[in-house]
Amino acid sequence: MTDSTGPYAGFPPGFFDRADGTPDEVFYTPTRLVTHIDDRAIAAVGALYAELGIDGAAPAPRRVLDLMSSWVSHFRTPPAELVALGMNAEELAANAAATERLVHDLNADPQVPLPDADVDAAVCCVSIDYLTRPIEVLADVGRALRPGGTLAITYSNRCFPTKAVRGWLATDDEQHGLVVAELVRRAGGFTEPEVSLRTEPGRGDPLYAVVARRR
d(CA 142, CA 185): 11
d(CA 109, CA 195): 27
* Cβ(160)–Cβ(41) below 8 Å: no
Looking at residue 32, what is its pLDDT?
Answer: 84
d(CA 181, CA 141): 15
Mean pLDDT of the chain: 95
Residues of the chain with pLDDT under 70: 1-4, 33
Looking at residue 118, what is its pLDDT?
Answer: 98
* Cβ(121)–Cβ(149) below 8 Å: yes
* Cβ(63)–Cβ(83) below 8 Å: yes
The domains of the chain, with CATH numbers, are: 15-213 (3.40.50.150)
Looking at residue 214, what is its pLDDT?
Answer: 98
Looking at residue 11, what is its pLDDT?
Answer: 97
